[in-house]
C-alpha cells in the first residue's frame, strides 16, 4: 500500500480491480478546515483511457510491483508491434496504440524499456528524440531567406519541416511526440557517440 501523497509518475496502482498508471500528479496543501488534495492523471493500462482522480493525501492505495525489461523492437503491422526480450529472446505482441506516434520512428533493433505486471506489458518508455534519415526535400528557390524552412520526407515516410540547409541523405533528430525537427546530426557527433 502507498499513501496518495507518496505517489510518483510511472507507478501502477489498482482501483476497483482496474490497473492504472500514474502519468502526472499535483498536490495542493489544505487550510485549517479543508484537507489537502492530490490530483492524479491516470491511464487505464488495458483500455488506454485517461482519468483524473482526486485523493486525500492520507488515502491508502494499492501499488503494484512492476518488472522492467529491456526489449528490442522487431517489426509492426497494421494493429500490433512485436518486441523481443534481449535476454531470453521471448517475443511479445503489443497493440500499436501502446507505442503511439513513436511506432513510425522505430527501426528493427531499437531498444525500449517495457514495464510488465503479471507477465502483461502495460507501459513502454518511449525515447523523447529519435534519429532519422532524410529521404527527400522540397527544392528551394534562391530568393528564399536562409532562415526559412522546407518540407522533407524521412525514410520512414513521415514529412516534417526542416531548415533550408538540410539535404537528402543527412540524419536529423526528431521529437517523437510532435514529429518536429530538433537539429541535424553532424558526422563528428555520430563518430564520438
Using CB atoms within 10 Å of the CB of residue 104, give its burial: 0 to 12 exposed, 13 to 18 middle, 19+ buried.
Answer: middle
Predicted pLDDT of residue 33: 67
Q: Is the Cα torsion angle 56, 58, 62, 68 positive or negative in sign?
A: positive
pTM for the model stands at: 0.70
In order of their start, the domains of the chain are 2-64 (2.30.30.30), 67-125 (2.40.50.140), 129-192 (2.40.50.140)
Rounded CA separation 59/54 (Å)? 10
pLDDT digits (tens, 9 = 90+) for 158-168: 899 999 888 99
| Of 1, 161, 143, residue with least CA distance to 65 | 1
DSSP 12-63: EEEETTEEEEEEEEEEE---SSS--EEEEEEEETTT--EEEEEE-TT-EEEE
pLDDT digits (tens, 9 = 90+) for 117-158: 888 888 888 888 989 899 999 876 654 555 688 999 998 888
Give the chain's radius of gyration (CA, Å): 21
- Residues ≥6 apart with Cβ < 8 Å to 165: 146, 184
pLDDT digits (tens, 9 = 90+) for 74-115: 998 888 999 999 999 999 998 888 888 888 888 889 899 998
Amino acid at each position: 500500500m502507498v499513501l496518495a501523497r507518496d505517489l510518483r509518475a510511472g507507478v501502477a496502482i489498482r482501483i476497483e480491480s482496474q490497473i492504472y498508471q500514474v502519468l502526472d500528479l499535483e498536490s495542493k496543501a489544505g487550510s485549517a478546515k479543508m484537507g489537502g488534495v492530490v490530483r492524479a492523471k491516470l491511464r487505464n493500462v488495458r483500455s488506454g483511457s485517461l482519468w483524473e482522480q482526486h485523493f486525500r493525501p492520507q488515502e491508502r492505495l494499492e501499488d503494484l510491483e512492476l518488472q522492467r525489461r529491456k526489449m528490442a523492437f522487431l517489426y509492426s503491422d497494421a494493429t500490433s508491434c512485436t518486441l523481443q526480450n534481449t535476454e531470453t529472446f521471448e517475443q511479445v505482441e503489443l497493440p500499436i496504440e501502446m507505442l503511439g506516434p513513436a511506432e513510425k520512428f522505430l527501426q528493427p533493433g531499437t531498444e525500449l524499456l517495457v514495464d510488465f505486471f503479471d507477465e502483461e506489458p502495460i507501459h513502454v518508455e518511449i525515447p523523447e528524440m529519435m534519429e532519422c534519415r532524410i529521404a527527400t526535400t522540397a527544392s528551394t528557390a534562391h530568393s528564399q531567406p536562409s532562415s526559412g524552412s522546407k518540407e522533407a520526407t524521412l525514410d520512414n515516410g513521415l514529412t516534417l519541416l526542416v531548415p533550408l540547409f538540410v539535404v537528402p541523405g543527412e540524419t536529423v533528430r526528431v521529437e517523437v511526440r510532435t514529429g518536429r525537427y530538433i537539429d541535424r546530426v553532424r558526422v563528428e557527433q555520430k563518430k564520438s557517440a
